[in-house]
Structure 1
Amino acid sequence: MNAHEFAAAQWSRATGAGVDPHEYRRVTDALTSVADWGPSFVHTAHAYLTRAEAAASAVSSGEHLLTAARWFHLATLAPYAESARAAAEADRALGSALKLLEPGARRVSGGGFTGWLRGPGSALGTVLVVPGLDSAKEEFLDLASALLARGLAVFTMDGPGQGSLADATIMRPEYEQVVSRVVDALGVPRVAVVGLSLGGYFAARAAALEPRVTAVATVSGPFRLDWEQLPGPVRDIMAARTGGTDAARDFARQVDLSALAPRITAPLLVVDGGQDVIPGVTNGEPLAALAPHGTHLSVPHGDHLLGNARADWLPQVADHLLAAMGAMGAMGA
């Protein structure tokens, strides 16, 4: 795949993450190879750090820092020797932005996770935003904003093998253990969880096995993986994140929600894009069918992560979690 083909493949994901589409075109049109991707995106991110330093207000500085965090994260989507440094810079930029824009935001870290708790202490409930195979907390800032706008608190996180922790930890299927530690650290009685891409599997698994998960949504989450059919680049990323090819093969084998789906008693919304067709991946419709309170939302023109169709799912996901958390709150759960 050449640079322009790679850029076209990442277009919806990048713009869905909130970068300016015109700037994305300018940056990617100048690429001569995929190897240029990481350095070019990091260079663009540094330009926003410079803007943040020169900004006339804290708000402007914070907004530039959020944009820098997005570009630093996106730099890691292509093979890049400095990916760990870019992920660390994304993490720092996000933290600096929140200190300016949301002084009440709190960094919370523990065994195999780190992230930011945002929103009022009087929030109706807390939502964990769980990233996927090569995503991170900096990718889903618009989803976090939608949840915050509805009066919910949000914990945007990196787990094992994700984002700022990717260089020092490996990804494991038992993500419910991470969610349990997060809930303990946050000191809340219950949470909702929304998982994106592979994070959808993590969210569904946590909802089945951690009773304090009382509402859940998945976006482009796999119901089942078939290692032999997965595209080579996906297998390569999975091997890098799980500790090698054998570990990745075993990881993929365990991504199967057939037995766990009936155990998800929380209200569940499963979102799939009709154009999201990845070999070796079974999308979420069977999950919604098997879960006792599952609903399936299929967006026919949506692609993977539905960055090309946010209006067709993002408000619905946020409203689903708000309604579910509100109902549980009314019952005193």
Structure 2
Amino acid sequence: MMSESKLLSVVEHWLPRIEVAGIPSATAKEVITRAGDWAGWLPAWLEEADRNEAIAVDAEAKGWRVTAGEAYARAAACAHFGQFMAFEDLAAKAAAAERKCTIYRRAAPLLDPPAQPVGIPFEGAALTGYLRRPVGVDAAPLALIVPGSDSTKEEFPNFEKHFLARGIATFSLDGPGQGEGRLFGPLRPDITAAIAATLERLKGESGLSGKVALVGMAFGGNLVLRAASALPDLAAVVSINGFADLGAFAPALPQVYRDNLRFALGTEDVLGAAAGFTIANAPPIMVPALIIHGGRDKIFPVSEAEASARACSGRVDLHVLPEGNHVCNNIPWVYRPLVADWLGDRFADR
């Protein structure tokens, strides 16, 4: 019964996220039905990853690069969502996560435009991310995308398209504690040093103008706001369903998200660790800020968007979308163009 309850809870909160990541709605629902309960979740998604990877391999052998790239990206997404929230067997979760990374590396050069893997020297090892440049733009501004607590860079090719279509390059990063960044330990309350190292590394890449904005999803929203308070040369910062102070509402989080935080924060003392994830004591955020939040978010309350906006001392645009769920993924046609258009205006100094 608990296994069935967890599956229903994950689907309730995150099915739209699965769909906007590139898994067709009918396919996602069929995989969930095949899973039956939570014990079947990871195997069902890995089976779907196998199916899409086989399509990709066949298409690549025939020289059908577009089809191959799309199918590899779907296969990687399937492996990603298989390990998503699967904390019962951490070895199986890690194996699925590694499979996702391996498959996405095959997708990357076949995407349009291609995704270039970039390593960022950091604390004696390397962070990893993917750089995509818009076609026909000699010096593009950059949206640096930071994932949430159990999200990774491989989840974002569809999101990146909105920026690329507007002449904005993208760099999707696994920060410390995220995806391949788990080698640096659990999530950190402050990733400013990792962002600064990424910006320094990207200075050596061609086709970029030097203008950079940070874009954070969910947990990443808090991380980019905190980093923006210490990086005044940014062009802008965007928080999408983030928060200002995790400790303020952590006791009210749904059980499935508390399970996530035990893994993401690397401790059984979730409430104690949550207290560190706050912008309350950070310097004021002076760069232009866009704060977006779904009015129906059952994980991070709308009051956290309002508190985030109050932490901004420069221009701040707050949009609470009444029908939006967590990260507004049930209305991607509303929030994703809004983010990309708003950033386009900031980069153009409009």
TM-score (norm 2): 0.86
Q: What's 1:35 paired with?
A: 39
CA RMSD of aligned residues (A): 2.2
Deviation at 1:25, TM superposition (A): 1.0
Asked whether 1:203 is paired with 2:190, we answer: no
Q: What does residue 261 of structure 2 align with?
A: 238
Q: Which whole-Å deviations, capped at 9, do the CAs of 1:77-104 have from their partners, x for residues lacking one?
A: 2325311122122222222112123575
Residue aligning to 2:51? 47
Structure 1: unaligned runs, 5 residues or longer: 329-333
- Matching residue of 1:20: 24
1:118 aligns with 2:118: no
The structure-2 alpha-carbon separation of the partners of 1:169 and 1:124, relative to structure 1 and needing over 3 Å to count, comes to: same
Q: Is the 8 A contact 1:124 1:325 kept in 2?
A: no
1:288-322 CA-partner distances (Å, limit 9, x unpaired):
23412111111101000111111221101001111
273-282 or 13-22: bigger deviation: 273-282
Tell whether the 8 Å contact from 1:51 to 1:64 is kept in structure 2 after alignment.
Answer: yes
Task: Choose the corresponding residue for 1:222, options 217, 225, 243.
Answer: 243
Match of 2:171, SS state, is: strand
After superposition, residues 57-136 of structure 1 pair within 5 angstroms as: 57-79=64-86, 81=89, 82-102=92-112, 105-110=115-120, 111=122, 113-120=127-134, 122-136=138-152
- Is the 2:290–2:318 Cα contact (8 Å) retained in structure 1? yes
SS in 1 for 2:239: strand
Kindly report which structure 2 residues correspond to 1:261-280, keeping only aligned pairs within 5 A, or say none: 263-278=284-299
Secondary structure of 2:154's partner? Answer: helix
Return the alpha-carbon distance in structure 2 between the equivalents of residues 139 and 285 of structure 1: 27
- The aligned residue for residue 331 of structure 1 is none
Residue aligning to 2:315 = 293
Change beyond 3 A, Cα 1:91–1:257: same
CA contact (8 A) 1:273 1:301 kept: yes
Q: Is the 8 A contact 1:152 1:322 kept in 2?
A: yes
Bigger shift: residues 298-307 or 279-288: 279-288
Shift of the 277–201 alpha-carbon distance from structure 1 to 2, 3 Å rule, reads same
Distance in 1 (CA, whole Å) between partners of 2:302 and 2:187 is 18
Deviation at 1:243, TM superposition (A): 2.3
Give the whole-Å Cα distance in 2 for the aligned partners of 1:282 and 1:86: 36
How far off is 1:167 after superposition? 5.8
- Does the CA-based 8 Å contact 1:225-1:281 persist in structure 2? no
CA distance in 2 between partners of 1:177 and 1:216 (Å): 16
The offset of 1:69, in angstroms, is 1.4
Name the amino acid aligned to 2:107. Answer: A
Shift, 1:133, TM fit: 0.6
2:133 partner letter: G
- CA shift in 2, pair 1:323/1:251, >3 Å: farther
1:319 aligns with 2:341: yes
Which range is displaced more, 51-60 or 249-258? 249-258
Per-residue CA shift, 1:182-221, capped at 9, x if unaligned?
0011117441110000000011111111223221111110
* Cα shift at 1:126: 1.1
Moved more, 127-136 or 163-172: 163-172
Q: Which amino acid aligns with 2:17?
A: R
- Please give the secondary structure, in 2, of the residue aligned with 1:166: helix
Query: Structure 1 CA distance, aligned partners of 2:266 and 2:66?
Result: 41
For structure 2, the 5+ residue unaligned runs are: none
Per mean C-alpha deviation after superposition, the further-off stretch among 277-286 and 133-142 is 277-286
Q: Is the 8 A contact 1:200 1:221 kept in 2?
A: yes
Structure 1 partner of 2:195: 179
Q: Does structure 1 retain, via aligned residues, the 8 Å contact 2:191–2:223?
A: yes
> How far off its partner does 1:276 sit?
0.6
> In the comparison of the two structures, how many residue pairs are matched?
326
Q: Return closer, same or farther for 1:234/1:138 CA change in 2, 3 Å cut-off.
A: same
1:201–1:2: structure 2 CA closer, same or farther, 3 Å change rule?
closer
